[in-house]
Every structure is written in C-alpha cells, then in structure tokens.
Copies of this chain bind each other. A is one copy, B any other.
C-alpha cells in the first residue's frame, strides 16, 4: 500500500519552488502525494497544525512534518 505524503503550501514563491522540486521528486510508485493549498483550503489548516506543521511549505510523510525552507507561518494562514 502506498504511503501518504501531503505537501502543504500557500502559493508563495518559496512554496512554488519547493513544490516543483521536492514534492515532484517524490516517488509516486511508493507515495500517494497530495498537494494542499492552505490559502484556498482554509478548512485544512487545523489538520496541518495537528500534524505539527508550523510553517509552509511543509511535507507531511507518514504523519511526520518536514518544513522545507520558510514561506509563511501557519498562523498567517488562519
């Protein structure tokens, strides 16, 4: 079964760069990658926070948060 990888972003330039490079580099054979724009899907901010996401862009793999560079704090997206 594929593992879930969720890439949270907010459309910022730092986010777009990370999405194009890091999120796209993930092996789609082993991971089910979902891209979530928290600016457009504010209803999912809570889920990201619960996974430990403090800023975007961030990648949550198997429930663990990995913050990639710094675009915006999650507080700024509420």
- Interface residue total, chain A, C-beta cutoff 8 A: 21
Q: Which of A28-78 contact B (CB under 8 A)?
A: 28-31, 59, 61-62, 64-69
Q: How far is the CA of A21 from the CA of B31 in the complex (A)?
A: 11
For A26, list chain B residues within 8 Å (CB). Answer: 25-27
Residues of chain B contacted by A66 (CB below 8 angstroms):
18, 21-22, 68-69
Q: Please name all residues of chain B whose beta carbon is closer than 8 Å to the beta carbon of A59 when the two chains form the complex.
A: 22
Shortest Cβ gap from A19 to chain B (Å): 11
New A-B pairs, 11, CB < 8 Å, besides A22-B61, A25-B26, A27-B28: A17-B64, A18-B66, A22-B22, A25-B30, A25-B31, A27-B27, A27-B29, A66-B68, A67-B68, A67-B69, A68-B68
